[in-house]
Chains A and B, each alone.
Chain A
Amino acid sequence: MSQAELMNEGLSLMLYGMGFVFTFLTVLVFATSLMSKSVLAIAPEEPAPAPKRSAVPVAGTNDPASDPVLLAVIGEAVRQHRERRR
């Protein structure tokens, strides 16, 4: 390949390459936005509040003293502990 040809190839690779990268990512921007919009339209904010709902009760409102399963577990643990100490 001659010198001038090589330079030409380099220039056209740059134009073609940058052009393609931009075109591709622009199409991706539109495709992504379209996808996001349609997803939000079909399933609006469904999973978003879900973690909140599960997070809040665990965090505070549940009183441990009123949980029969928890009380039973603690009671059994205490009983076993005492048994072993004897």
Chain B
Amino acid sequence: MEKIIALWEGSGVANLSPGQAIMIAIGFGLLYLAINKKFEPLLLVPIGFGGILANIPEAGLAFSAVEQLVHMQVPEQVADLARILNLSSTGVKELSEAYANAPAQVQLAAQLLADNLNYNNGMLYSFYSVAIGSGIAPLVIFMGVGAMTDFGPLLANPRTLFLGAAAQFGIFATVLGAIGLTQMGVMDFSIAQAAAIGIIGGADGPTAIYVSSVLAPELLGAIAVAAYSYMALVPMIQPPIMRALTTEKERKIEMVQLRNVNKVEKIMFPLVLLVLVAMLLPDAAPLLGMFCFGNLMRECGVVDRLSGTAQNALINIVTIFLGLSVGSKLVADKFLQAETLGILALGIVAFCIGTAAGVLMAKAMNMLSSKHKINPLIGSAGVSAVPMAARVSNKVGLESNPHNFLLMHAMGPNVAGVIGSAVAAGVMIQYVSAL
């Protein structure tokens, strides 16, 4: 009988907390969206599955060794830990808080204790610290994105870079929105957290994950989920805004055929960009440096094997671990908070403002110069979300004029948006860390 009771006490059902149950349901929900609705499946399948794994009761896959020790609640062991942390109580909450706020030396001592008692870091915790904690995974993905990006349309019409810049307004407006919510007492975000939430408006998954891993790791789960879900929703979010801000006549504008771009120009572009980043914004160097490196491998034509690996095998491997690591942040006590709802709401506002700013910028550019009109519909592609946003521009354009193919024209602002959000990310990291 005792054995049966022990078996029951060790089972998942007996230990499942309501929070974990909700988070597992959210994990299944993400899997449903990814598999059935095709929402960014490459990321939401690993994220959703990682979220389920992270919330399996007693398994502690997303816990560090010390957290495992705290949760096991073996009396002598937690007493030892409490002594190290200079604490009288041995409750889970008190110990976790004291450990998180303890100075580095004390944390190290606690880790040694956990190590001596044969506790190990959970699998997902290890993935997280290697892939995201170190900042490597988003950067490697950015290298792959660089290797997949063709800057031809951008080089043929460099003015479209302005559209990519304007669409970043969504990022900064959302930072202000997050601070406004704090001001009204609805939420409580610091400036670093507000900056990390704003980057959702950049519509660029790896950039969002990179920025939040640097500025606000505690919000990473919610930010990554919001960024990838809204990227999947681009075809639904953008068209109404684009139609509302343009007239039928503007939507019919046909753009001049793009010129042929020389191979040497394509090789030179990542180098020019790299030099500019090095000179003006070293904080964006990790993101844009890897991006330029990937693009140079693609265009130089002498390392096709490396370029092929970067844009296929490598990016796929890293995506698996990135997704699982993000999933590890979907643990109940960190995700089930009012802040998450605020982040989801602010994220969609960021998207809408970015889209609107891009379209309005294109209209402004048409007012300033009359030759070579720009169809304002390609402005919305300035939010990154490559290539979805460009396809949306093309589709809305075809509705007004069935012979007007905007896809290649929209790819210019689209890749400009990637550069723009990486620059914005660098600016925010630099600004916040200088505070």
> Contact residues of A with B, CB < 8 Å?
1, 3, 6-7, 9-11, 13-14, 16-18, 20-22, 24-29, 31-33, 35-36, 39-40, 43, 45-48
Closest 10 CB pairs of A and B: A10-B179, A14-B172, A25-B165, A32-B158, A47-B263, A25-B161, A17-B427, A29-B158, A39-B264, A20-B427
| Chain A residue contacts of B154, Cβ below 8 A | 32
**B191 at the A interface (CB under 8 A):** yes
**Complex Cα distance A45/B263, Å?**
10
| Chain A residue contacts of B169, Cβ below 8 A | 18
**Complex Cα distance A21/B428, Å?**
11
A21's contact among B155, B158, B195, B424, by CB below 8 Å, is which? B424
Interface bits B227-265 vs A (CB < 8 Å: 1, else 0): 000000000000000000000000000000000101111
| Chain B residue contacts of A39, Cβ below 8 A | 262, 264-265, 268
Whether the Cβ atoms of B272 and A32 lie closer than 8 Å is yes
| Chain B residue contacts of A11, Cβ below 8 A | 176
Whether the Cβ atoms of B423 and A1 lie closer than 8 Å is no
Whether the Cβ atoms of B176 and A24 lie closer than 8 Å is no
A27 and chain B: residue at smallest CB distance: B276
**B420 at the A interface (CB under 8 A):** yes
**Complex Cα distance A3/B195, Å?**
16
B184 and chain A: residue at smallest CB distance: A3
**Complex Cα distance A14/B191, Å?**
12
Whether the Cβ atoms of A21 and B179 lie closer than 8 Å is no
**Complex Cα distance A21/B280, Å?**
11
| Chain B residue contacts of A40, Cβ below 8 A | 262, 265
Interface size on B, residues (CB 8 A): 45
Interface bits B63-99 vs A (CB < 8 Å: 1, else 0): 0000000000000000000000000000000000000
B183's contact among A6, A14, A22, A29, by CB below 8 Å, is which? A6
| Chain B residue contacts of A46, Cβ below 8 A | 262
**Complex Cα distance A8/B194, Å?**
13
Whether the Cβ atoms of B179 and A28 lie closer than 8 Å is no
- With A6-B182, A25-B420 in contact, do A17 and B428 touch (Cβ < 8 Å)? yes
Name, among B179, B180, B182, B190, the residue most crowded by chain A CB atoms within 10 Å (CB to CB). Answer: B179
**Complex Cα distance A37/B169, Å?**
30
**Pairs A–B under 8 Å by Cβ, sample size 19:** A1-B191, A6-B179, A6-B182, A9-B191, A9-B435, A13-B428, A17-B424, A20-B423, A24-B280, A25-B165, A25-B423, A28-B419, A35-B265, A35-B272, A36-B158, A36-B262, A36-B265, A47-B262, A47-B264
B267 to chain A, nearest CB (A): 9
**B220 at the A interface (CB under 8 A):** no
A79 to chain B, nearest CB (A): 37
Whether the Cβ atoms of A14 and B175 lie closer than 8 Å is yes
| Chain A residue contacts of B260, Cβ below 8 A | 48
| Chain B residue contacts of A3, Cβ below 8 A | 182-183
A72 to chain B, nearest CB (A): 32
